[in-house]
């Protein structure tokens, strides 16, 4: 029986991590965004997308390696969550 997938190349979408953080006030949102940018510069990683308004920040991290998130990327995700918590942010 012929392989129906012959000629096709399987490609996994790059794994991503997404998280929404909410804050009480714009000042906290701003502090978090600045801390996130500084942390990203320090480790050379930047979220694939950040979407924010005055009291929320949606963060999307995408694996550079298309098969899995690296330990550095996972550590960055943990650091981002800790930075949000430092601004009393609620991640959900």
Q: How far is residue 10's CA from residue 29's CA, in Å, rounded to a whole number?
A: 40
Q: Does 49 bind a copy of itself (CB under 8 A)?
A: yes
Task: State the minimum distance, in angstroms, from the CB of residue 86 to a copy of itself.
Answer: 19
Nearer to a copy of itself, 10 or 27 (CB): 27
Candidate residues 54, 66, 70, 85; the one interacting with a copy of itself per rule CB under 8 A: 54
What 3-state class would DSSP assign to 23? coil
Angle of helix 71-86 versus helix 26-43 axis, rounded to 10:
150
Candidate residues 18, 24, 25, 37; the one interacting with a copy of itself per rule CB under 8 A: 37
Q: How far is residue 7's CA from residue 25's CA, in Å, rounded to a whole number?
A: 54
Q: Which stretch binds a copy of itself (CB under 8 A): 4-12, 17-25, 49-57, 84-92?
A: 49-57
Q: Residue 19 forms beta bridges with which residues? A: 59
Element (H, E) at 71: helix 71-86
Q: Does 25 bind a copy of itself (CB under 8 A)?
A: no
For binding to a copy of itself (CB under 8 A), which residues are involved? Answer: 26, 30, 33, 37, 46-54
């Amino acid at each position: 029986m012929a392989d129906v997938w012959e000629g096709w190349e399987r490609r996994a979408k790059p794994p991503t991590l997404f998280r929404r953080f909410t804050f009480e006030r714009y000042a906290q949102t701003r502090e978090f965004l600045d801390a996130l940018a500084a942390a990203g510069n320090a480790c050379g990683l930047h979220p694939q997308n950040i979407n924010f308004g005055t009291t929320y920040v949606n963060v999307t991290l995408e694996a550079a390696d298309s098969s899995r998130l690296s330990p550095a990327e996972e550590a960055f995700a943990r650091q981002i969550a800790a930075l949000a918590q430092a601004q009393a942010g609620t991640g959900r």
